[in-house]
Amino acid sequence: MEQSAVRTSGARVRLRNLSKSYGAVVAVDGLTLDVPAGTFVSLLGPSGSGKTTTLNLIAGFLTPDAGDILIDERSVADVPPHRRNIGMVFQSYSLFPHMTVADNVGFPLRMRAKLSRDESRKRIAEMLALVQLSHLKARYPRQLSGGQQQRVAMARALVSRPRLLLMDEPLGALDKKLREQMQAEIRNIHRSVGTTVVYVTHDQSEALTMSDLVVVMHRARIAQIGTPRALYEAPANAFVADFLGDSNLIPATIVKTAERECAVRIGNRAVIAAPPAPFAAAAGDRAFLFVRPEDMTLQPASSVQPQDRSGLVGTVKELSFHGDVFKLSIAVGDDVLKAKVAREQCGSFEVGRQVVISWTPNAARLLPATSDGASSSESGMR
Amino acid sequence: MTAIAGHTTAPPRMAASSRQRIIPALLLMPCLAWISFFFLLPLALMCWRSFAAKGYSFAAYTVLFTSPLYTKVMLTTVKTASIATVIALILAYPVAYVLTISGGFRRALILTFVFIPYWVDIIVRTFSWLILLGDNGLINKLLMATGIVHTPLELLYNSFSVLIAMVQILLPLTIIILFGAMLRIDRTLIAAAKIHGAGSWQAFRTVFFPLSLPGVYGAGLLVFVLSLGFYVTPALLGSPRQTMIAQTIMVEASELLDWGQASAAGLVLLIITTLIAAIYNRYFSLDRLWGGSDA
Ligand SMILES: Nc1ncnc2c1ncn2[C@@H]1O[C@H](COP(=O)(O)OP(=O)(O)OP(=O)(O)O)[C@@H](O)[C@H]1O
Ligand SMILES: [Mg+2]
């Protein structure tokens, strides 16, 4: 594979206060986003959060009601889709059924680049080699499997070396195994071509594994932007915490705030220490105490002296096996907390046992108790 | 256990499936009876008569394929039907395309205008062309009043008047068939063409148009078959020297009272149209025309 031959530099994409409504439905509401050149950025969010609309605005299929889109610092408001020099992979692939694989891949070259016949043929061959489909170039799309069609769509999107590639749930129609394989392939291809990618998905694990930057969308707005790790470890609000991975969001009341530390009351029980709130908070405010299940340390209550119990005490309600880990549901007063323990530690926990739950102080975070917090249906063990 | 369970459930299932076969058959009965009595039976009679009337021989068919009169009539028929079909397709295509790309209100409005003439009786429509195209008709009066011509143009009783009226009658159906075919073209393909560098015209030329061609061929065949059987229009608007096959059959049957010859000609026409319909069904699938499966 000649990597240097297919390499381009990515475009910088900026969305400025972008809005779009369909009648009374606000699909995108004041979106501002800066995608650095060459970045793989995912738009992640539940169904209806405005991801496709955002992508179609960037592509130029829709005109924004307000705001602006800048590609390489130039507004593309007056540039029609075919002159934006973008590649796109559609959810249903949208290959041209009346053209062979080679003609599909060559389409953007015939429309865009005024290349010589030999030069085009070379480019098509290069692209087909990159997606490992050289042997199928004379086939028609209907004669290909889903994964192969997906690769043809990638090759077509990249052949004219666009500086920006848009993908709308490109793996949605594939089964889990193939999806994981294609995720790795797309990453590799991105690395070798160097173009900027805006990738839409509602699959959080896909977004976390593939992206340099994740934009979590919620109800037409951006809930948070960050690297996958930052979003996972330091979600800005209950929605993001809940949407990305498993989480515990324990309703709490702030008792005391200080610069280095604050204290919260959970239910009407223990007052425990928490890191300082990353938002304006005063004593008496409601908040969520957020802890990842895998950051919880569990001990059988019988092995800890009552005076040494620094954490919460609860009863194991459920225990389920997930291969590498066990997941536990633990009732603490009215709340049910989730915890994960490694397989070999599980012997000491059974349903009905009392356990002491604790965590290191910096594993917990205080999140604002906004109305659109953990209301999403995405909670629960995954 | 499982074997016993299988045993007990089998009989009711069989009963259900045979009932499933009987009920549609019963529902079809009245329709089948109607078709047999009013269509298949006369058809069989016609077939029998085409031989019997000529002393149980193929004489009627020999005449059909050897007499210069029938050759000429068949040629006129095929020529007129072909030209009418092509013109109808050319005129219908843009309308169907606009219908496809417009939504809601505009689509409903255009469809209404397409269908208004369809609701008017075919004879009334044909007569209205007499009024428009006659020597003292609206068009000639206008042309003379504006001084473009000094003697009335011969617009009537020739292939021009027949074609213009036939096309008008065929248009609504052609538009609807093309529209149905175009609706099935995936619109994201056009988006895919555009984002990959095709302007509107190029997207149409390289993607939409080729994908619409099967629909065009299908519509063409169907409209052609319909045009072959036109009677009222050529009879009222055409020249007696350029009769089409349906008129000739009528003359044989009602004026010359040669029922055997008329039956033979009718059967040949029927076989040709059935053959074309069969080709159509084989390659374009009649099901798809009526919005059935896309397979
Ligand atoms: N053509 C349209 N007409 C009217 N409303 C629309 C249209 N397209 C989208 N919407 C609405 O706009 C909102 C955002 O839709 P969008 O397709 O951008 O969501 P999405 O995040 O891509 O969702 P999904 O994950 O289901 O694809 C939704 O409420 C949707 O119902
Ligand atoms: Mg979408």
Quote the ipTM score. Answer: 0.82
For residue B15, name the pLDDT band (cuts at 50, 70, 90): low
Report the nearest-CA residue for atom 17 of ligand 1.
Answer: A52
Residue-wise pLDDT for A38-75, tens only, equals 999 999 999 999 999 999 999 999 999 999 999 999 99
Dist CA A344 CA B117 (whole Å): 81
Contacts across the A-B interface (CB distance below 8 Å): 66
Edge-to-edge order in the sheet of strand A312-321 = A297-300, A354-358, A312-321, A325-332, A335-342
Structure tokens at A181: 């394989």
* B192 to chain A, closest Cα gap in Å: 7
Q: Is residue B291's pLDDT more than 70?
A: no
Residue-wise pLDDT for A116-149, tens only, equals 899 999 999 999 998 889 999 999 999 999 889 9
Question: Once rounded to an integer, what is the mean pLDDT over residues B251-263?
Answer: 88
Residue-wise pLDDT for B121-152, tens only, equals 888 888 888 888 888 888 888 888 898 888 88
Q: Is A202 in the pocket of ligand 1 (CB under 6 A)?
A: yes
E strand spans, B173-275: none
- Residues in B touching A112 (Cβ below 8 Å): 196-197
Q: Is residue B120's pLDDT more than 90?
A: no
Task: Output the pLDDT for position A270.
Answer: 67
Task: Walk me through the domains of chain B, giving residue ranges and CATH numbers.
Answer: 12-52 (no CATH), 58-290 (1.10.3720.10)
Phi then psi for B123, rounded to 5 degrees?
A: -70, -40
Structure tokens at A102: 């080679």
Q: Is A342 in the pocket of ligand 1 (CB under 6 A)?
A: no
What is the three-class DSSP state of A337?
Answer: strand
Report which secondary-structure segment, H or E, holds A214.
strand A213-218
Task: Walk me through the domains of chain A, giving residue ranges and CATH numbers.
Answer: 3-233 (3.40.50.300), 246-368 (2.40.50.140)
Task: Output the pLDDT for position A268.
Answer: 66
Predicted TM-score (pTM) of this structure? 0.81
| Ranges under pLDDT 70 in chain A | 1-7, 268-270, 306-310, 371-382
Of B169 and B292, which is predicted with more confidence? B169
Task: Output the pLDDT for position A372.
Answer: 45
Query: Counting beta carbons within 10 angstroms of the beta carbon of residue B110, is it exposed (0 to 12), middle (13 to 18) or buried (19 or more)?
Result: middle
- Alpha carbon of A140 to ligand 1 centroid (Å): 31
What ligand is nearest to the CA atom of residue A43?
1
Task: Output the pLDDT for position B13.
Answer: 53
Put simply, the answer to whether A111 touches B192 (Cβ < 8 Å) is no
Task: Output the pLDDT for position A123.
Answer: 93
Residue-wise pLDDT for B35-51, tens only, equals 888 889 989 998 898 88
Residue-wise pLDDT for B84-114, tens only, equals 999 999 999 999 999 999 888 999 999 999 8
Phi then psi for A316, rounded to 5 degrees?
A: -70, 125
Q: What is the 8-class DSSP label of residue B47?
A: H
What does B69-118 look like in DSSP terms, one character per residue?
Answer: HHHHHHHHHHHHHHHHHHHHHHHHHHHHHHHHH--HHHHHHHHHHHHHHH
- Residues in A touching B196 (Cβ below 8 Å): 82, 87-88, 107-108, 111-112, 156-157, 160
